[in-house]
Homo-oligomer: A and B are copies of this chain.
């Protein structure tokens, strides 16, 4: 038996959109602590670790831990239809029920899919630098980079830097320490990443949330931010080729 009520529908919608930007499908593990999801994206180069605590639900009833396999494209389509003033009632029988109660009552059910591979392990990386950045600044910088290339070098030295070189031109954005919310550095770090993946990862990062980027040269990066009470931690493998 699983029944839960969500009243912060705006952040729920945004959380589902964030997941759907990276994952086609995945398995929510629901236990007394809340909802958890850890999965690789279809290209196997990005991992998302998602957690939403039970305390953030208006009500949360569960008799034993369960898994729910979700087609996130379907779930996102339906979640988009919720209105700000609705509450979402989740329930599970053979299908996952989402009832939007507000001015009207609208009941949706989606198929539960079989996505039963065990979740990947969280990578253990000794990051050598870290920066906290307002979401708008890093998202705008990635849009600049998009003009000339589909991959981008992220580096941390005296600041946080984004650079890329394409056939038709090059872009370099340097964010000095005073533009950042924090900067920590054991040693300078630099690696090259897919712009598409970075854009998908950051799609739902919005103020007042802050984006934390952790780097280690030629190693996967870690990006983390919150959507309301949801915590999202991403790992993205670097591109190997020289740049």
Contacts and interface: CB of A to CB of B under 8 A. Distances in A.
Nearest to A74: B168
A27 to B, nearest CB: 17
Nearest to A110: B169
Interface in A157-175: 168-175
The count of identical subunits is 3
A173 B74 contact: no
Contact of A173 (B77, B106, B144, B171): B106
Contact of A174 (B95, B105, B169, B174): B105
Interface in A100-125: 103-111
Contacts of A169: 74, 78, 95, 108-111
A143 B82 CA distance: 11
Interface string A122-159: 00000000000000010011011001100000000000
A104 B110 CA distance: 45
A104 B175 contact: yes
B173 A81 contact: no
A41 interface: no
Contact of A81 (B137, B144, B168, B175): B144
A108 B71 contact: no
A74 B172 CA distance: 16
**Residue among A71, A95, A170, A174 having the largest count of chain B Cβ atoms under 10 Å:** A170
The 6 A-B residue pairs whose C-beta atoms are closest, nearest first, are A110-B169, A107-B172, A109-B170, A106-B173, A74-B168, A77-B147
